[in-house]
Structure 1
Amino acid sequence: MLRGAAAGAIVGGPFAGLVARAANAAEVDRIERPPLEPVPDMRDGQVRLWLPPHFQYRSFHDTETQILLNDGTILPGRHDGMAAFRGPRGSIILVRNHEINGPGAAFGPGVPYDAMARGGTTTIQVTGMGEVIRSYTSLNGTQMNCSGGPMPWDSWISCEETVNGPDVAADFTGVPNTPLLQRHGFIFEVPAGGQSNRQPITAAGRFAHESVACDPHDGAIYETEDNFGFASGFYRYLPPRNPCHTGRLADGGRLQMLAVRGTPNAELAAQQTPGARYRVKWVDIDDPAPTFPYVPGTPALTTNDTALTYVGNQGRAQGAAHFSRLEGATYHDGVVYFCSTQGGGAAEDGPGPIANGYGNGTGQVWAYHTRSQVLELIFQSPSAAVLDFPDNITTSPRGTLVLCEDNVNDNFVRGLTTDGELFDIALNRLRSSTGADRSNDEFAGSTFSPDGKTLFVNIQASAGMSFAIWGPWRRLGV
């Protein structure tokens, strides 16, 4: 099963029962939870979500129609990762990514990082019922802003899930990168309620970033990589100063990549023994932010595949572990939880490239214990009927994990308790204004309001949309 990963394994552990139960589809299906039911949207009465009994929601920032922000910006689509912070007079501040690829004019006012990149973040002040108070551009000129993570000092870190730039040839879209003015593949800080300085944290790496989580005890930033067709890595960035003390994330630190002790290149994307635990070490990345040779205004010679694997290959040469498509990450009580979207299936033959995505499973959820430096598998989906491609992840104030699905079938928001109960929170039942079925649009950006009463979540599609969901969370076990 582990294909060479057993040497670093630790048997059992506090979550072993959780995994053993959750790995059994029949037992998961027997867990008694209220069935979801169609609920009308408080915005206009249309049914867009199915929720548990006694829950309500309101959608907002639906880009099927043109929406102007308070700064005059036309709201972009592709709503993705998001975080919630305390706002003035009981309001909530949301900072939200827009995962937009391809060269083109940057949206929004101010000086963008790259005037020819179309992604970024918008910031929205809302009530707990999803009523928009104001909204504006907070980061622009970036690309493929996928997920990221809220920081303890009230900032959002936005991640670029790309390595595009004028020094790299076209990506999977086939669109030349020649018009781009800057390198991409970095992370950017966006203060809650403020503006980003539009400067990348280059020492944190240039790779297909997905998400980040901060350990407030030492300020380490844990980073996931969604390198679709290749093995992905789990990284940490050690900044030169603890950002929890300085109130900002500084460049110039050290980037490292996770490896399993005693097992070089452990194949962790493969199906694991329930409750698998591994002692880990960290290997240094010497060249985290490469610039490849190129002549401005001419097509780059470095292939996108070469650029995508450049940073990770430095770690794998030192024994770094192979994961499948690492996506959402979140920190809670000494543990960084992260999703391996296609993990848990048959082992791949080598680190890539794989046309249908590296990994043959339907999802794993990992826990990295930051103090003991132990990696633990806390959930492995036995089939798509149980959990289908988990992506973004957050935790409730009580520690329940909330997982967003991203596949081509019905997409759910699901809960995973520390007792191993997997249950449904929301089901996408969107239809377009013309009646087209949009139930396979992915959920993304799940985040709880600071008081824990409202779950905000996005629909990541060209016609993006955000939701505020509220109800008896404690009764649901969230």
Structure 2
Amino acid sequence: MRRRNFLRASVLGASTVAFTGSLWQDAFAAPAQNATGPYGPLQAADANGIQLPSGFTSQVIARSGQSVPGTSYTWHSAPDGGACFADGTGWIYVSNSEVSPNGGASAIRFTSTGAVASAYSLLSGTRQNCAGGATPWNTWLSCEEVSLGYVYETYPFGGAAVRRPAMGAFKHEAAAADPVRKVIYLTEDETNGRFYRFIPTTWGNLSSGTLQVLVAGSATSGSFSWANVPDPDGSPTATRSQVSGSKAFNGGEGCYYANDTVWFTTKGDNRVWQVNLGNNTYELAYDDNLVNPGPAPLTGVDNITGSTFGDLYVAEDGGNMEICVITPDDKISAFLRINGQSASEITGPAFNPAGNRLYFSSQRGTSGSSSGGITYCVTGPFRT
């Protein structure tokens, strides 16, 4: 694979990306290979059952069905996709609820020290809100993972959620905003799902625009183009079946944008895809079948996010309940592992604006039930 340059990215506020630091040569060529992690080996499990590298600690932030500590707000069941938003000297962590028919999204506001200040609802009464994505204008896109599902734009800083039908009706999974091209990328959780982009008529306003689908060959790398989806409402023909030559992906999951690149995961084949927007090419950033020597550290790939340093963090749905890190020099390793929760999945990884706290959830916790979700925070010497 041709190697490219990668500029370290930091997320400011919701997901507005600024680029700092020196130019990284030979970064993020595909696919990533097994290596010792940048933080060293995992230590014995802590009191929360989480194995972390030396110097890192975990804490429980909230539990499904219980009041968020310090508030009277009851945390939702089946916590899923999440993101952080800068809030003055503190920040807000938002999280979806992947239940139906009473899904939605909630938020927790933190002070500058990481203490809980308040918790509240952003969205309710929707269906199986799985992942989503933050926008540069400080809204959270909550995506319904159901047939003919919708994207809902929610407002962590106040305001009523709004359904955005122009973004298509299909089994939505995740979203990632590209402020350079002024588009939103979207994944589809079907075994023959597609990868989309939505071009708003006016950037910052998702009420109208054009839905497009990626068109490419059947190979795992090559060039691509975009084509308009004729009927974004997906009826009577599903959006994924409307454009001849659109590329199928096996179970689209998480999605993350930085520096002219968008990464997304597919759970059906345990892959992380890398779309190079500067030259309209795509390739594999990770494939569990191409790790040599094995065994592959990452299986059940799901949500994905990035750090201020430029590392990618990928959560497992199943596997051995790990969050794995892919470094810019194409090395992959386990960053953390949750023990005793094999009937769950890890969801919603997101860094606070400073990049020194990582939030995530175990969707079904130790009980294996959607009512047993646990939301955590890991603090430590993250590379920034």
* Both structures adopt the same fold (TM-score exceeding 0.5): yes
- Following TM superposition, by how much is the alpha carbon of 1:231 offset from its aligned partner in structure 2, in angstroms? 0.5
- Following TM superposition, by how much is the alpha carbon of 1:127 offset from its aligned partner in structure 2, in angstroms? 4.2
Distance 2:233 2:70 in 1: 35
The residue that corresponds to 1:259 in the other structure is 215
The residue that corresponds to 2:42 in the other structure is 36
Q: Could you report, residue by residue, the CA deviation over 1:137-159 in whole angstroms, capped at 9, with x for unpaired residues?
A: 11112111111111111111111
Task: Determine if the alignment matches structure 1 residue 238 to structure 2 residue 216.
Answer: no
Task: Determine if the alignment matches structure 1 residue 97 to structure 2 residue 96.
Answer: yes
The residue that corresponds to 1:176 in the other structure is none
In the alignment, residue 459 of structure 1 is paired with which amino acid?
S
Q: Could you report, residue by residue, the CA deviation over 1:434-478 in whole angstroms, capped at 9, with x for unpaired residues?
A: xxx42442111111100111111111121111111111112xxx7
Matches within 5 A, 1:398-413: 398-407=309-318, 409-413=319-323
Matches within 5 A, 1:53-202: 53-63=54-64, 66-67=66-67, 74-88=74-88, 90-101=89-100, 117-127=101-111, 131-163=115-147, 185-195=149-159, 197-202=160-165
TM-score computed with the length of structure 2 as normaliser: 0.85
Matches within 5 A, 1:54-453: 54-63=55-64, 66-67=66-67, 74-88=74-88, 90-101=89-100, 117-127=101-111, 131-163=115-147, 185-195=149-159, 197-227=160-190, 230-243=191-204, 249-260=205-216, 263=217, 266=218, 272=220, 276=221, 278-290=222-234, 310-315=238-243, 318-343=244-269, 363-382=270-289, 385-407=296-318, 409-429=319-339, 437-453=340-356
Secondary structure at the aligned position of 2:268 is classed as: coil
- Following TM superposition, by how much is the alpha carbon of 1:35 offset from its aligned partner in structure 2, in angstroms? 1.5
- Following TM superposition, by how much is the alpha carbon of 1:242 offset from its aligned partner in structure 2, in angstroms? 1.3
- Following TM superposition, by how much is the alpha carbon of 1:68 offset from its aligned partner in structure 2, in angstroms? 6.5
Secondary structure at the aligned position of 1:77 is classed as: coil
Secondary structure at the aligned position of 1:47 is classed as: coil
Distance 2:241 2:133 in 1: 25
Question: Contact 2:313 / 2:323 at 8 angstroms: preserved in 1?
Answer: yes
Q: Could you report, residue by residue, the CA deviation over 1:359-418 in whole angstroms, capped at 9, with x for unpaired residues?
A: xxxx111111223222122221226642102100000011110000112x4110010011
Secondary structure at the aligned position of 2:206 is classed as: coil
Question: Contact 1:91 / 1:127 at 8 angstroms: preserved in 2?
Answer: yes
Secondary structure at the aligned position of 1:96 is classed as: strand
Secondary structure at the aligned position of 1:458 is classed as: strand
Q: Could you report, residue by residue, the CA deviation over 1:197-244 in whole angstroms, capped at 9, with x for unpaired residues?
A: 3321111110011101111013201000011xx31100011111111x
The residue that corresponds to 2:32 in the other structure is 22
TM-score computed with the length of structure 1 as normaliser: 0.69
In the alignment, residue 131 of structure 1 is paired with which amino acid?
A
Distance 1:438 1:142 in 2: 27
Question: Contact 2:150 / 2:172 at 8 angstroms: preserved in 1?
Answer: yes
Distance 2:37 2:379 in 1: 23
Question: Contact 1:33 / 1:423 at 8 angstroms: preserved in 2?
Answer: no
Once the two structures are aligned, what percentage of the paired residues are identical? 29
Gaps of 5+ in 2: 6-25, 365-369
Distance 2:48 2:303 in 1: 23
Question: Contact 2:122 / 2:156 at 8 angstroms: preserved in 1?
Answer: no
Question: Contact 1:60 / 1:131 at 8 angstroms: preserved in 2?
Answer: no
In the alignment, residue 317 of structure 2 is paired with which amino acid?
D
Secondary structure at the aligned position of 2:162 is classed as: coil
Q: More strand per residue: 1 or 2?
A: 2
- Which shifted more, 250-259 or 119-128? 119-128
- Following TM superposition, by how much is the alpha carbon of 1:58 offset from its aligned partner in structure 2, in angstroms? 1.1
Distance 2:382 2:69 in 1: 32
- Following TM superposition, by how much is the alpha carbon of 1:421 offset from its aligned partner in structure 2, in angstroms? 1.0
- Which shifted more, 218-227 or 367-376? 367-376
Question: Contact 1:428 / 1:441 at 8 angstroms: preserved in 2?
Answer: no
The two structures, once aligned, show a CA RMSD in angstroms of 2.4
Q: Report how many aligned residue pairs link the two structures.
A: 354
Change (3 A) 1:91 1:420: same
Q: Could you report, residue by residue, the CA deviation over 1:119-168 in whole angstroms, capped at 9, with x for unpaired residues?
A: 001011124675322101111121111111111111111111112xxxxx
- Following TM superposition, by how much is the alpha carbon of 1:252 offset from its aligned partner in structure 2, in angstroms? 1.9
In the alignment, residue 192 of structure 2 is paired with which amino acid?
A
In the alignment, residue 259 of structure 1 is paired with which amino acid?
V
The residue that corresponds to 1:12 in the other structure is 2
In the alignment, residue 468 of structure 1 is paired with which amino acid?
C
Q: Could you report, residue by residue, the CA deviation over 1:65-96 in whole angstroms, capped at 9, with x for unpaired residues?
A: 532699965432100011101124x2221111
Distance 1:160 1:151 in 2: 17
In the alignment, residue 324 of structure 2 is paired with which amino acid?
R
